[in-house]
Amino acid sequence: MHEVMAKAILSSNNGMNIYRGCLHGCIYCDARSDCYQMHHAFEDIEVKSNAAKLLEESLKRKRRKCMIGTGAMTDPYIPLELELKNTRKCLELIDQYGFGVAIHTKSACILRDLDVLKSINQKSKCVVQMTLTTFDEALCKILEPNVSTTKERFEVLKILRDNGIKTVVWLSPLLPFINDTKENVERVLNYCIEAKTYGIICFGMGLTLRNGNREYFYQKLEKHFPGLKERYIKTYGNSYEINSPNNKELMELFHQTCKKHQIVSDVNALFSYLHQYEDKQYEQLMLKL
């Protein structure tokens, strides 16, 4: 790891990345792409040591409360977080100043901060986003080697459900010829149903590959799935969008299941929900009047 003093922490749409780089080792990671202009080794985590200070200054300046997002590029619960607690410090500030939060992770370590998440949710809105791609635990450890397994993430979803915190699952990516099967999708969806997930984000059954992450992905295919790299190259060439041959069938299954169980599956509606601030204290006050 290396520390930097960042100049700013919030993006124009109120998203933040407290860290840059990752040790999760997910073989399909888009954040490795060259377009993000990361000028250091991906596994050499960049720590924004003044993240909490910058966030507090930004929250103080805001005229209107809003949702603060984190986890879009780097998981806020990488192993370093357990030692540094920068994510927790930022969550405590979000809670202190009455903002909402939409946080995205693949780690059961988020439960360490359940007390803060519940406090935020009592005043405003807390939404936890969790990626689920693979029901098979052995396959999960190949595709996402250094994060909580799918079963562990499922247990987190249920705990959040029981504590009144809404969850949104990212069903992405589905890797052609690996986990793009009806059985896998059905079993992941069953997890979502049991956990009473508010919504599921799915852009399609497939993944994206571009310079930077394509090379890493193919390297891992050669190691774990001999011969599959050549099949990808023959089928997709250098395409950015890599759609599963089963995309149509699996997307129909996905939408039918979500409709049956009243799970929101419209991507635009879900992104709107993630950015929509709620002031529960004001609503409770109005009900008393």
* pLDDT at residue 280, as a whole number: 81
- pLDDT for 163 beyond 90: yes
- pLDDT for 284 beyond 70: no
Tens of pLDDT along 184-212?
999 999 999 999 999 999 999 999 999 99
Compute the distance between CA of residue 40 and CA of residue 25 in angstroms, rounded to an integer.
Answer: 16
- pLDDT for 289 beyond 70: no
* pLDDT at residue 39, as a whole number: 86
Average pLDDT over residues 128-145: 97
- The whole domain housing 229 covers 2-288
Q: Which of these, 51, 21, 64, 53, lies nearest to 39 by C-alpha position?
A: 21
**Residues of the chain with pLDDT > 90: what percent?**
93
* pLDDT at residue 93, as a whole number: 98
Average pLDDT over residues 125-151: 97
* pLDDT at residue 282, as a whole number: 64
* pLDDT at residue 38, as a whole number: 87
State the CATH number of the domain containing residue 130: 3.20.20.70
Compute the distance between CA of residue 2 and CA of residue 42 in angstroms, rounded to an integer.
Answer: 12
Compute the distance between CA of residue 257 and CA of residue 90 in angstroms, rounded to an integer.
Answer: 36
Compute the distance between CA of residue 243 and CA of residue 208 in angstroms, rounded to an integer.
Answer: 8
In this predicted model, which residue has the larger pLDDT, 110 or 287?
A: 110
Total count of domains within the chain = 1
**Cβ-count burial 261-284 (b if 16+ within 10 Å, e if not):** eebbbeeeebeebbeeeeeeeeee
Q: Share the mean pLDDT of the chain.
A: 96
* pLDDT at residue 281, as a whole number: 73
Compute the distance between CA of residue 6 and CA of residue 11 in angstroms, rounded to an integer.
Answer: 12
Adjacent-strand bridge partners of 87: none
Q: Across the beta sheet with 2-4, what order do the strands follow?
A: 2-4, 46-48, 19-20
Q: Which of these, 187, 186, 203, lies nearest to 247 by C-alpha position?
A: 203
Tens of pLDDT along 249-264?
999 999 999 999 999 9
